[in-house]
Structure 1
């Protein structure tokens, strides 16, 4: 059964659950907004939209950008290559079928954990790239996720109540200012 919290500090909740912070493959990293805040010693930041990587907010030496299609991770990395594989605000950008395939591949690539952070349910998002880098095609949401289905896949799920709200430009664009907040899911699977 999913744990619910009003704590909206994603980084703190995630850091508390990390089993090994040696290396991370972050799938769909965008412009790498939070990667400097993660405790991993080595990070591969993978994104299909090259402008996100070229214009990333961090140039830290421990973060290596990689421009590739995430659906091909099993061709790019051998099994047990990283301590963890994460999908932070990215799994919802894939069809359910593609996402399930990537999660299975991630379990083979990760030594310790697969991490997912995503809105709860379907959060419609189209024709928007709030980074202003012409990535609208890649920012569209194609799937929604519930805590029960992630638990069925073996994830331990934390429901972060009200995580998405009027402070998020994509939320306001989709739902409007007065809409009630939308929960987020932080799901971790130990492999």
Structure 2
């Protein structure tokens, strides 16, 4: 077994709970091949469902009464190719990938890594689990999507090197028609946390702009600590805003239905819109960087002013201490003088 593959095996009772512990909250999700049952792990602000079978699409539109759900009536690869890079927080493929030929499934996963910026969550049977359903046959929901329920590939944890794997060896005890399976088939979740990337906005430019706006003021450790966190946060927010806006525009257009051969044109329009959004965000980013630099400059000037006053007070304190010592010395000298002794002797001084 690949040394990068770490599997946590669970019994059936704890399987879903273990997987859920690894799934992060998300604002915008893509739910690929959800059929008539969208994922229930997270409650996002926006859910984009990708479903190619029209009967399932119609069912979703009737049964899911929510303004934050969009349905794209395309296949997985078509829909993914029309979405911008890193435009959704999480992508779910629950009981989906085994319905694709393995080569197609691998391409879909690669596209998921391009489109997602946070997590990808895949659930599939452990190995090839036979399930032959012919066109025209009813599916497990009693609808006519039988041909979409045919299993075409088998997947193993070794296919997901570097992912977190939660597995159960005795998960599937009945088939899609409710007929007992003996021996049972296993299943597993593969979950990957994608690395953060900041490739749209120039961090070096931002830091230089802050330094320039400070007119040579040195903030020392304060600059390193605050400017770094500020730049990182603003880059992440700007990236996310661009991606989400472009993704929602794409999803809205695709949800209305796209004629064969039109997906590429939609993608080109979204790509142009994406760069327009990037330019807007870059202008706003520059404005915020310069404003932050000005605020940091003001802070540093105030800090220098306070340090100067502190030094002045310390100098005055030292001067007062010196005068106090001088006065104490004079008092001691006066007390030891002959005149004082005579006055005390006659009772004039005590």
Instruction: Judge conservation of contact 1:48–1:68 (CA < 8 Å) in 2.
Output: yes
Mapping 1:57-96, distance limit 5 Å: 57-96=63-102
Provide the C-alpha distance between the structure 2 equivalents of 1:16 and 1:34, rounded to a whole number of angstroms.
19
Partner residue of 1:186?
189
Partner of 2:182, secondary structure, is coil
Mapped contact 1:22–1:42 kept (Cα < 8 A): yes
Deviates more, 1:21-30 or 1:39-48: 39-48
Q: Give the SS at the match of 1:12.
A: helix
Q: Check if 1:49 corresponds to 2:47.
A: no
Using CA pairs under 8 Å that are at least 6 residues apart, name the structure with larger relative contact order, 1 or 2: 1
Q: Name stretches of at least 5 consecutive residues in structure 1 with no aligned partner.
A: none
Structure 2 CA distance for partners of 1:97 and 1:164, relative to 1, 3 Å: same
**CA shift for structure 1 position 36:** 4.8
d(CA) in 1 for partners of 2:166, 2:16: 13
Deviation at 1:147, TM superposition (A): 1.3
SS of 1:148's partner is helix
Correspondence for 1:97 among 92, 103, 119: 103
User: Is residue 162 of structure 1 aligned with residue 170 of structure 2?
Assistant: yes
Question: Which is higher, the Rg of structure 1 or of structure 2?
Answer: 2
TM-score scaled by structure 1? 0.86
Provide structure 2 residue ranges, at least 5 long, that are not aligned to the other structure. Answer: 1-5, 195-350
Greater per-residue strand proportion: 1
TM-score, with structure 2 as normaliser: 0.49
Does the 8 A contact of 1:155 with 1:188 survive in 2?
A: yes
Q: Hey, which of these two has a bigger chunk of helix by percent?
A: 2
Number of positions where the alignment pairs a residue of Structure 1 with one of Structure 2: 183
Distance in 1, Cα, partners of 2:49 & 2:15: 19
Following TM superposition, where does structure 1 have runs of at least 4 consecutive aligned residues deviating by more than 6 angstroms?
none
User: How many angstroms apart in 1 are the aligned matches of 2:178 and 2:157?
Assistant: 20
CA displacement, residues 85-117 of structure 1 (integer Å, 9 cap, x when unaligned) = 111000000000000000000001001111100
